[in-house]
Amino acid sequence: MIKPGERIPLDGVVEEGASSVDTAALTGESVPREALPGHEVISGCVNLSGVLKVRVTREFGQSTVARILDLVENSSARKSKSEHFITRFARYYTPAVVFAALALAVIPPLLFGQAFAIWVERALIFLVISCPCALVISIPLSFFGGIGGASRSGILVKGGNYLEALADVAIVAFDKTGTLTRGSFEVVAIHPEQIGASELLGLAALVESYSEHPISRSLREAWGKEIDHARVSRVEEIPGQGVRATIDGKQVAAGNIRLMEGVNANGAHECRLPGTSVHIAVDGVYQGHIVIADAAKPDAAQAIRELKSLGIRKTVMLTGDARKVGESVARELGIDEYDAELLPADKVASLERLLAEKREGEKLAFVGDGINDAPVLSRADVGIAMGALGSDAAIEAADVVLMDDKPARIADAVRIARKTLRIVRWNIVFALGVKGVVLALGAAGVANMWAAVFADVGVSVIAILNAMRALDVKNA
Ligand code: ADP
Ligand code: MG
């Protein structure tokens, strides 16, 4: 039972009550979401208006909040190149500086008979100036700021290295269903060939009853009636093709033409209607198809335009759906290239081809949501997954997770990454520059201890303040 004002402690499904929940902590979305019986609510959100009775669906360890905490805690383990550089740099730098200071204190007095007092002071000034804290503190802090700021707007970045890669992204490849499109299909038409239309839809809902694919969910919703799970057994999901199951002792298959060929059901043909056809066969006999259509997400076209304006050289769509559907979505959204009718392995092959096309220093990002996207997500330089609709496999394989499933967030992520890297570079140049100048002056005996303290503490404070700008993602 969750009272208004309380934080939802565990993931679950609303059993009773009606309320709105504030998801801002997870998604950055300021408009509260509705929570009615049957809706899923996720841990970490705040219940705003009504009492909700929620049936818990996941243990704490698997809950959204626990997963996010885990991601954020482990993100510091995945260090960026600049952070690695700093670690290596410090290993040689510190002993080198200490010995140089010792030499400075001892050699001139011993070899040239100069006063010890002067050279010991100069050596101390040298030591103070050369302290590397400005770099050692501010660089990891900038990445931390970038990651923290991004997570406040619903973008989870699993490590500084991915922020670095995001800044150099030049090619972005997308999955279609669930990534660029909403993944909630409307039934456009039912074309039965043997049985009645409602029987065909009922059969489809039964075969699809255990699948979490967006097509399956939509067909179950379109059917709308209770599903008798006892009639369904031996369910097998074939990624990129469809589902097979035994229903009332008969072999039923629902999916695309390729699946129909697989079960030797002759007579399956693409429908004239625009949309995705789900073909159905019983014991190898073709029963007709259901035409379903999905709409592009409201911000998908804008997302592509924003990426273009950020200088992304190429956008590509990789889909398992039919060619004509792929073509129409690509044209509608203004995507440069598309590749359709891909099985999971073909998606990897397509991605390899894109990776080979990259120029020096360029990075490739892939955005997806499904189980069939997981291999591609881990193969890309930066894998971006949809956090709400996406399958756990995709979220696990990805490097960046968009909590609110909005493709327009990708451009935000690139902007945040670029800003973070600008800050990091500025800090490196500024810190080394000031130190270099004061060091030279100190060696020549012009700079005193005050200048040295400024070159150390002053530069550190300025670099840290600058690093904190990375937190401010609104102005990225
Ligand atoms: P995308 O790559 O666009 O996200 P998928 O690879 O998930 O699409 O699916 C590719 C095609 O395979 C779908 O367009 C559909 O024809 C078929 N398909 C996949 N899963 C199912 C399913 N559960 N039920 C029916 N058809 C499916
Ligand atoms: Mg998909």
**H/E element, 468:** helix 459-468
Atom number of ligand 1 nearest to Cα 254: 25
Q: Whose CA is nearest to atom 21 of ligand 1?
A: 242
Cβ neighbour number for residue 288 with a 10 Å cutoff = 23
Residues with Cβ within 8 Å of 386's Cβ and at least 6 positions away in sequence, in order, are 178, 179, 367, 368, 369, 394, 401, 402, 405
Alpha carbon distances (Å) from 272 to 268, 269, 279:
13, 9, 14
Residues 356 and 334: beta-carbon distance below 8 Å: no
Atom number of ligand 1 nearest to Cα 318: 2
Is 243 touching ligand 1 by the criterion CB < 6 Å? yes
Predicted local distance difference test score (pLDDT) of residue 373: 84
Q: How far is the CA of 170 from the centre of ligand 2 (A)?
A: 22
Is 373 touching ligand 1 by the criterion CB < 6 Å? no
Is 209 touching ligand 1 by the criterion CB < 6 Å? no
Q: How far is the CA of 387 from the centre of ligand 1 (A)?
A: 19
Average pLDDT of the chain to the nearest whole number: 88
Tokens for 248, please give them.
């009332």
Instruction: Tell me how far apart the alpha carbons of residues 164 and 60 are, in angstroms, rounded to a whole number.
Output: 32
Predicted local distance difference test score (pLDDT) of residue 90: 78
Is 242 touching ligand 1 by the criterion CB < 6 Å? yes
Q: How far is the CA of 161 from the centre of ligand 2 (A)?
A: 26
Name the pTM for this structure. 0.79
Is 375 touching ligand 1 by the criterion CB < 6 Å? no
Predicted local distance difference test score (pLDDT) of residue 77: 66
Residues 391 and 371: beta-carbon distance below 8 Å: yes
Beta partners for 386?
A: 402
Predicted local distance difference test score (pLDDT) of residue 73: 65
Q: Whose CA is nearest to atom 4 of ligand 1?
A: 177
Predicted local distance difference test score (pLDDT) of residue 447: 80
Tokens for 127, please give them.
């030591």
Report, as ranges of residue numbers, the positions in the chain whose pLDDT lies below 70: 25-30, 71-77, 476
Residues 379 and 129: beta-carbon distance below 8 Å: no
Choice among 11, 22, 168, 175 that is catalytic: 175
Predicted local distance difference test score (pLDDT) of residue 439: 81
Predicted local distance difference test score (pLDDT) of residue 150: 93
Compute the chain's Rg from CA coordinates. Answer: 29
Q: Give the model confidence (pLDDT) of 396-427 as tens digits.
A: 788 999 988 899 999 999 999 999 999 999 99
Does residue 248 have an active-site annotation? no
Predicted local distance difference test score (pLDDT) of residue 75: 63
Q: Whose CA is nearest to atom 22 of ligand 1?
A: 242
Beta partners for 382?
A: 365
Is 372 touching ligand 1 by the criterion CB < 6 Å? yes
Predicted local distance difference test score (pLDDT) of residue 28: 61
Q: Which ligand is nearest to the CA of 372?
A: 1
